[in-house]
Chains A and B, each alone.
Chain A
Amino acid sequence: MSSHTTNNNTLSLSTFACAWCGLTVSAHAADGAARNHCPSCLHSRHVLDHVEGGPSDCEGRMSPIAIAVLRTGDWMLIHRCVRCDELTSNAVCTDDNQLILMRMAVRPLAQPPFPLEAFGTL
């Protein structure tokens, strides 16, 4: 699918290339939500300044570091820019790589800083 349109009735399809794995990703998910990270490797690009709100001049790659949970139970993906250490949170799309999501969710329990055996008696 290319981005050029043949007539006025077809939607123009905007795509971007993933900064980490190079996958060509459509900018909108199947349900119409705007997509800002690669569904395959979950990496993003730092194009929006979180503090000022405008476009950012960093353009660095943002790697996924954590899963956060909203009060509604939905998962959010925390990204960190590898150039300027800025943190952003993005909603998880339905076609995101579930293996990487689950790996990030259980990652703290795989390397606990204290023994977890004591919690079995609580």
Chain B
Amino acid sequence: MSRNNRSTRGGRRPQRHKDVLHTHGGHRANDFRCTSCRLDVSLDAPGTAHRNHCPHCLASLHVDRKIPGDRDADCRGRMEALGLSVRPDGEWMIIHQCVSCGELSANRIAGDDNPLALVRLALRPLADPKAAGRVLLTL
């Protein structure tokens, strides 16, 4: 019955104009959702102008290829925090590794990153008694 009605009217019913934009300048233009823990993250981060990882679980998304911000990668895989590096000026960098293609990238930490997750990442080489103990014994 309803199918007949629609076919006699011809074409699609005109849609209502959308005044709520979910992307491209809408209310979620500056947000992203973490691919690992599904947290909605705002791009406004204290201490950095380029937030690229979730402050809760430190996961990121593989969107950049060579230059940060070029959005040139076709992978779009999830990038998990692999280790921590320290710049000569004492700033911590998170080393991310893409889960699907294995690419590495380094990101500065932000001011609201989870300190417990950061310290767990920093302690990861020392947590395993096998590798760390072997290093300390051969010193």
Query: What CA separation (Å) do A75 and B132 show in the bound complex?
Result: 9
The DSSP consensus for interface residues of chain A is mixed
Give 8 pairs: A residue, B residue, CB < 8 Å, sorted on A.
A51-B103, A66-B93, A68-B82, A68-B125, A69-B128, A87-B104, A102-B136, A119-B119
Chain A hits for B132, CB < 8 A = 102, 105
The answer, yes or no, to whether B117 is at the interface (CB within 8 Å) is: no
Complex Cα spacing A108 to B66, Å: 26
How far, in angstroms, from A67 to B97 measured CA to CA in the complex?
13
Interface of B is mostly: mixed
Closest Cβ of chain A to B54, distance in Å, is 18
**Does the CB pair B95–A113 fall under 8 Å?**
no
Known A-B contacts A65-B85, A108-B86, A108-B92; the reply to A87 vs B122 at CB < 8 A is no
Contact A107 B86 (CB under 8 A): yes
Residues of A within 8 A of B125 (CB): 67-69, 75, 105
Q: Does A102 contact B135, Cβ atoms closer than 8 Å? A: yes
How far apart are the CA atoms of A114 and B116 in the complex, in Å?
11
* A77: nearest chain-B partner, CB-CB: B83
Ranked 4 nearest A-B pairs via Cβ: A66-B85, A68-B83, A87-B104, A108-B122
A9 at the interface (CB under 8 A from B): no
